Amino acid sequence: MILATILISAANALMRKAFDVSSNAWLELQWLLFGAVFMLSAAYALQKNAHVRIDVMSSRLSKHTRDVIDLCGHLFILLPFTLIVVWLSAPFFLESWREGEISSNAGGLAVWPGKFLIFAGMFLLLLQALSEIVKRIAVLRGVIADPEPQPVHGHSPSDTSVTGGHIE
- DSSP assignment letter at 152: P
d(CA 101, CA 125): 26
Per-residue pLDDT of the chain (168 residues; tens, 9 = 90+): 899 999 999 999 999 999 998 888 999 999 999 999 999 999 999 999 887 777 778 888 998 999 999 999 999 999 999 999 999 999 999 999 999 999 999 888 999 999 999 999 999 999 999 999 999 999 999 999 988 765 544 444 444 444 444 444
Q: Are 10 and 45 in contact (CB under 8 A)?
A: no
Beta carbons within 10 angstroms of residue 50's beta carbon: 13
Q: Are 147 and 67 in contact (CB under 8 A)?
A: no
**What is the reported pTM?**
0.81
Distance of CA 145 to the CA centre of its chain: 26
The domain ranges of the chain are: 2-147+158-167
d(CA 5, CA 106): 21
